[in-house]
Amino acid sequence: MRIGFIRHGRTSWNKDKRAQGSSDIHLDHEGRKEAEKLAQHLDRNEWSVIVSSHLARAKQTADNIAETLGIEVLIDQRLREASGGMIEGTTEQERIEKWGENWRALDLGIEAEEIVVARAREAITEFEENFHGKNILIVSHGSFLRHYFKSALPTLNHERHLFNTSLTIVEKQNDDWVNVAYNSTPHLNQR
């Protein structure tokens, strides 16, 4: 069994470096192109199903891939991005201007990492049971995936930014999940 984790394609807020959180932002033109490139890169015969966050940017990415691969998209709200609370829609500079240099230490309603990891683990354990022996794609979000990877793949470098439409693959070997690819984006270099 393999699980491929995909971060959604680019949005205008990604381009502007705005915190998206659970705001429902759509892919921009570049994000749609990125999703198309990833869809063309994936092996049609390798993947059985896609499970996506309900937020538009993830769902649009998943729909594009599903159409190319000819597979079904299932929606699971547990895959949504970590809520950004009061910082959603703001840039780093705007946060510093509004709350100061130490804004991260303030209670701004940002969803706690342990809550994100708990819902990620619950969802992924359920997918593992429901799709046993199949290869599935999960389309989600940067902070959600980074939090989950820090817990599930602790030996990786988690300070590195996850790229839009990056693919991280884990494979079940005996009873363990082994990382096969991390933050992979060769499809973005294709014309």
H-only helix segments in 43-110: 56-69, 92-99
Q: How many whole angstroms separate alpha carbon 162 and alpha carbon 142?
A: 6
181: part of which helix (H) or strand (E)? strand 176-184
**Would you call 8 a catalytic residue per the annotation?**
yes
Q: How many whole angstroms separate alpha carbon 9 and alpha carbon 141?
A: 9
The structure tokens 């998206």 sit at 20
Which of the residues 34, 81, 88, 111 is marked catalytic? Answer: 81
- Strand ranges of the sheet holding 176-184, from the earlier edge strand across to the other edge: 72-75, 49-52, 136-140, 2-7, 167-173, 176-184
Q: Is the dihedral of CA 121, 91, 31, 184 positive or negative?
A: negative
**Would you call 81 a catalytic residue per the annotation?**
yes
Active site residues per annotation: 8, 81
